Amino acid sequence: MDHIANEAEEIYQRLIRKKSVLGVMVFNENGVRTSMDNATTTEMTNALVPLNDLARKTVRDLDPDNDLLFFRVRTSKNEMMIGVDEGHLYIVIQDARFIRTQHMPKQ
């Protein structure tokens, strides 16, 4: 395993140990490393990878010299965090109940 792969695996292991994390996916040219079952991985991949591509295209449309590195989508149940680093796409699903809500509007 090369340095980049080792670093991606270390990040993956660190993320899945967090109490708030429901699932982690790491994509690269060799495939996907996931902590979730196949059905959930497929569902999340089909929804979030195109969202990442659209967000990245939007950033580049606004400024061709810029690129999207990270974004998050928070719902009432979950927070989905998507980031790109060193040829890896990271998707982390976190339980919203564990997220600090001091800056969130009251419902």
Is residue 107 in some structural domain?
no
pLDDT, position 102: 46
CATH of the domain at 6: 3.30.450.30
Domain that holds residue 69: 1-102
- Residue 71: is its pLDDT beyond 80? yes
pLDDT for the residue 86: 84
Query: Any bridge partners for residue 27, and if so which?
Result: 32, 89
> pLDDT of 13-56, one tens digit each?
999 999 999 999 999 988 899 999 999 999 999 999 999 999 99
Compute the C-alpha angle 45/35/86, nearest 5°: 65
* Residue 58 pLDDT exceeds 60: yes
pTM here? Answer: 0.84
